A and B are shown apart, each in its own frame.
Chain A
């Protein structure tokens, strides 16, 4: 039997699937950005919403994916397809090296530490370390995806690639939620002492969340760099990390629809209200404050109780 959430999800997927047929290229670009940022926000949600780790440096992983593709393509001439695997694996590796020493820190301390990593990351990019990152201007002239002599270079191609990436991400998160790993993250989030006492290795599962989140963010970064055929440091600064963090909390921690709504509000609405210029950010600031006061668990809060049907027999 289909529940309401799955129906909404399918309706949304169908809508997103046909979206390119109805809009001009400007809106198509907005749509693509939404898809890419939704993937990043979902990957932030694995760390923040599920494992409950106050991580405010997610733009690092997003940026690592983008720069990996950019550097390998622009500096070393690798085809985009060949950069995909490294764009996922390098953020995962960096996540492990960067987070393993600080994973035991309490929420607020860890938050500051992750912001520190983000600041260092931007410094490294701007200082053109090893002459690879292109300094403050970044890198441009990134190729498009080519396969069997075809060029996937149009906006529509970009859109559908991002669409597939979002679909894959949602699938992974669904699998995660239905596994021992996703549940362990929730248990740690809700009560770390109780989780430990049930035999859950807190460190392992927090790192698992980080590494998985970093890999997905890296994939989104790779796609982002191809979409704009350029990368530059300011797209991956602390402000961006704050945005991803905020999306999760405003939309609803650990709630897939919540995070998608959050992404829509933070990235698509600003596009729709362009004529209001900067005044729109005032509205968003107020909206963020109001959400936290009125709906502290987010616009669409997570609902637990996702258990096999045979266990619901006795429920009255």
Chain B
């Protein structure tokens, strides 16, 4: 077996003729914080959707611990230990914060099919353990005071924390974050950076898309840069930062934006 947790190998994804991802390859090591950057519309989120089974790439392989998981159902991918957050927050907004985080315990819960109707001693034990775990996560993310508040009523920054808590509740091996700092203020971003370090220290491998370069450069050990669906550069932050191709891509994309 290889030392890579996740290997993306020559993946392409098309949307009615549009090449959203073009022959993309990358390898993520266990315990790493791996960054994906690139201009708007580069295909970063599409890549995450391919990994998590929302989309099925037409070409290529996605290897999880050496096994191809391409095209698996999203719930199967989550069961493997790959959990994610969303660029546009997707919480169960009418439900309380605690209930939102509890959804992350779903795959860990050992309740049997008949426990939906009849409680058993094992059910009570399982239920209690899972809610306790939710309690721990609310403490970790400073969410305890909102336990009963509907998630949709809370500020953007807090909602981002709930989403991370929910994903972490499933005790993932790989945590996939799609622009976790988007919409956060400076303080919140700082706090997030520390939180991500703590999560890494728990032994969780992290892949993140982020536009906040300062944060990406300080957190990530390795970075892949995507433009128009294809990899244009990869390496350690200091290398990627100074790569002329990357600088060109970002300036070029600004001009594209202006044309529209």
* Chain A residues engaging chain B, CB cutoff 8 angstroms: 172, 175-176, 178-184, 186-187, 190-191, 193-202, 208, 212, 304-308, 310-316
Contact = CB atoms under 8 A, between A and B. Distances in A.
Contacts of B99: 183, 186, 304-307
B93 A312 contact: no
A194 B86 contact: yes
Contact of A314 (B117, B119, B138): B138
Contacts of A212: 116-117
Given A186-B95, A196-B78, A316-B145, A180 B111 contact: yes
B50 to A, nearest CB: 13
Interface in B40-58: 52-54
A306 to B, nearest CB: 8
Nearest to B107: A199
A180 B116 CA distance: 7
Nearest to A297: B94
Contacts, number: 141
A172 B117 contact: yes
Interface residues of B, number: 50
A175 B79 contact: no
B36 interface: no
Contacts of B116: 175-176, 179-182, 208, 212
A34 B99 CA distance: 33
Contacts of B145: 314-316
Contact of A190 (B86, B95, B138): B95
Interface stretch (B2-10, B127-135, B194-202): B127-135
A191 B98 contact: no
B95 A304 contact: yes
B73 A304 contact: no
Given A198-B103, A198-B166, A312-B148, A175 B117 contact: yes
A180 B109 contact: yes
A183 B103 contact: yes
Given A175-B117, A182-B116, A197-B83, A190 B94 contact: yes
Contacts of B94: 190, 304
Contacts of A314: 138, 144-145, 147
A182 B128 CA distance: 16
Contacts of B78: 196-199
B88 to A, nearest CB: 11
A307 B166 contact: no
B104 interface: yes
A66 B137 CA distance: 49
A305 to B, nearest CB: 4
